Structure 1
């Protein structure tokens, strides 16, 4: 009887271990010291000092040219920000929050009697292919599989430079 229980336990554990992989990956490489987003090229680079560790094709806001000025303009911000939060239960698989808006962003939007918006993220994508066109409301999107790697590599406080 004990042998049967042990056998069933081993089968159960093997089955659980084989069921799907977690979206939470482990990363043991060099620290990502900064992120660069090149909007015109639709590329994002994870860097350790000056060395590119990974590069990704990205999708941007549905009106990608220019700096985000206010909520609803469909633009992705430009400038230097930081990753302020890791969101494991994102609507788009996983996400990293960018600390937009900064003081200048808020002041500009308020001078136009508008809200600067917020919740700008690097996140995974929907089921449709994301590289067909820019589709976000101002975020930076990659595939879900790519986001799993990025999420494992990037820490809160990492600087992100978003370039035109």
Structure 2
């Protein structure tokens, strides 16, 4: 178990590297915590484009709200889709989808972490990890999601 971060420490930026399966929280230019082995949507390769494609978005977004009563153990919403995502999908007569979150495991699950990629496009952490991230990340924090 890692030592807890001091209460006064907060993240100012999040970086998700899909190929390395890491989420790193930064305070300024300093990494303060890296979560490894994170899970993505059932189709983890490529940028989310449409509702139901099971992909996790790539690009720059923000954490725009939080849901303490989601179907998963806590959830931080990512601001997907942005205007470019909407324009692309609508140009093809499709819905870009939405409701992309960083969250913990399904409520009531007895597993510490479901193996593999299993979300509908979200980023899944263990419950202990999302509890820490929930405390570290204020709404409005920038998140970059890289391929």
- After TM superposition, the score normalised by the length of structure 1 is 0.81
2:127 maps to which of 144, 159, 163: 144
Which residue is 2:14 aligned to? 35
- Structure 1 runs of 4+ off > 3 angstroms? 128-131
Choose which of 89, 92, 100 in structure 1 pairs with 2:69.
Answer: 89
Tell me, which stretches of 5 or more residues in structure 2 are unaligned? none
Q: 1:50 to 1:131 in 2, by over 3 A?
A: farther
- Residues 26-68 of structure 1: CA deviation (Å, up to 9, x unaligned): 9623321100000011110010122111111210011000000
**Which residue in the other structure is 1:70 paired with?**
50
| 2: CA distance, partners of 1:130 / 1:74 | 19
Out of 136, 143, 147, the residue aligned to residue 160 of structure 1 is 143
CA RMSD of the aligned region, Å? 1.5
Q: Which is richer in helix?
A: 1
Normalization by structure 2: what TM-score? 0.90
Match of 2:25 in 1: 46
Distance in structure 2 (CA, Å) of the matches to 1:64 and 1:129: 21
Q: What count of residue pairs does the alignment treat as equivalent?
A: 139
SS in 1 for 2:88: helix
> Larger Rg: 1 or 2?
1
